[in-house]
Amino acid sequence: MKTDDRFRRLFRHGILEVILVVLCIVLAFTASGFLTPDNLLNVLRNVSMQGVIAFGMTMVIIAGEIDLSVGSAVAFAGCLTAFLTQKLSGEWIALPLPLAIAVSIIITLAVGYTIGLFTGLMRTRYQVPSFITTLALMTGLSGAAELITNGFPLTPFPGWYNYIGGGYLVGIPFPALIFLLTFGLLQVLMNYTSFGRSVYAVGGNAEAARLSGINVPRVKSRVLGITALLAALSGVMVSSEIMSGTPTTAKGWELDVIAAVIIGGTSLMGGVGRIWGTMIGVIFLGVIMNGMTLLNVSEYWQHVVRGAIILVAVLLNLLQKENRTT
């Protein structure tokens, strides 16, 4: 009876973790080369660029909002970094290249945060749903990326710039470290700070939060700002990986990111969700894609499977919730 109870609890609260472990065990036996350190680190590297954004998106969705512009923001940020580097290392002023790159990255991140604040302002001051503003930004930022690059990749970066998106530190891919660091920071922010608590309250019941003296507009704006900042960071990482500012990168990322968040158990209704769940969701998708590639499953099938996973994961979450309330 006791083990039965324990199993049931595990099933209820950690079903996704269980499935992930089972999946890894199955792949370890069926896909040759899956269970090697190189491959696993590769999985981590592959998910890190989208994963960084997914943690921010988790906060946004918990706060009852959405950000559809993250994919375009990644492309725009990569292009902006390249554009600024080009201008600052010769065309406008001639800064030394490392300094020009550093300044460009900082400006890009600041611009990212500002874009998020803009979405928040539209939401809280003018009641424009974040769905609409970020849908507009999705197109607008994509166009802006094309504008500053004239539609062609900009390549002002020196060889060492590749380190951010492609390098290794103590044997671990550098982007994976950024990914893990982001996870750690947001995990602490959401679970151990008054700000994180406010995010849950605002998403769970904005009016009750307001009547408790929580500054709802500020919370929403900051959350949207942080997520846009993380999208910009991801854009910098991508530009480093591909060594250029390319306006056509990261198309459709917003949906992959939202999918990972939802698989991780975050409710689109707001108020419910965990950064840890998103971690699992991100890794889950990464492992599935990696496994299917190793098993030579066609890319078309991979898309179909991914779609099915999203649906099944949400269904499982809902069933769990039903179980818990009865």
Partner 1 sequence: MTTPPHSLQTISLRKEYPGTVALNDVSVTFSGGKIHALIGKNGAGKSTLVKIIAVATRPTSGTLLIDGNPVALRSPHDALQRGIIAVHQELSLVPELTVAENILLGRLPEKRLFGQSVIDWNAVFTRADEILQSLDVHIDVHAPAGTLGVAQQQSVEIAKAMSYNPSILILDEPTSALAQHETERLFSLLKTLSARGVVLLYITHRLQELKEIADTVTALRNGLLVGTIDITEATPSAIVQMMFGETIQRSRPLDLAAPIEPFLEVRSFSRKGLFHDVNFQLKKGEILGIAGLLGSGRTELLRALFGADPADSGEIIMEGRHIRPEHPQQMRDLGVAFTPENRKDQGLVQLLSTRVNLCLASLQRIATHGFLTADREHQIVQNNVRDLDITVADTDAPVTYLSGGNQQKVVVGKWLNTNPRLVLLDEPTRGIDVQAKQQMFQIIWDMSRRGISCIVVSSELEELLDICHRILIMRQGRIVDDVRPGEISLEHLFAACMKEDA
- Strand (E) or helix (H) holding 131: helix 130-149
Tell me the C-alpha to C-alpha distance, in Å, between residue 121 and each of 27, 108, 194, 256, 288: 46, 20, 22, 26, 38
Q: Using the rule CB under 8 A, which residue among 211, 296, 298, 300 binds partner 1?
A: 211
Q: Does 323 bind partner 1 (CB under 8 A)?
A: no
State the binding string over 270-289 for partner 1 (x if CB under 8 A, else -): -xx-----------------
CB 82 within 8 A of CB 244: yes
Considering CB under 8 A, how many residues would be counted as binding partner 1? 21
Binding residues among 175-194 for partner 1 as defined by CB under 8 A: 192-194
169 strand-pairing partners: 172
Q: Does 205 bind partner 1 (CB under 8 A)?
A: yes
Binding region for partner 1 (CB under 8 A) out of 67-75, 100-108, 202-210, 229-237: 202-210
In the complex, minimum distance from the CB of residue 190 to partner 1, in angstroms, rounded to a whole number: 11
CB 198 within 8 A of CB 34: no
Q: Does 208 bind partner 1 (CB under 8 A)?
A: yes
Pairwise CA distance, residues 123 & 307, whole Å = 30
Q: 153 or 204, CB closer to partner 1?
A: 204
Q: 171 or 213, CB closer to partner 1?
A: 213
CB atoms within 10 A of CB 97: 17
In the complex, minimum distance from the CB of residue 284 to partner 1, in angstroms, rounded to a whole number: 24
In the complex, minimum distance from the CB of residue 9 to partner 1, in angstroms, rounded to a whole number: 14
Q: Using the rule CB under 8 A, which residue among 198, 239, 244, 266 binds partner 1?
A: 198
- CA 281 to chain CA mean position, Å: 11
Q: Does 87 bind partner 1 (CB under 8 A)?
A: no
* CA nearest neighbour of 257 among 288, 282, 275, 223: 282
CA angle 156-46-97, nearest 5°? 20
Q: In this structure, what DSSP letter does residue 90 have?
A: T
In the complex, minimum distance from the CB of residue 178 to partner 1, in angstroms, rounded to a whole number: 23
Using CB under 8 A as the criterion, which residues of the chain lie in contact with partner 1 when the complex forms?
A: 192-195, 197-198, 200-201, 204-205, 207-215, 271-272
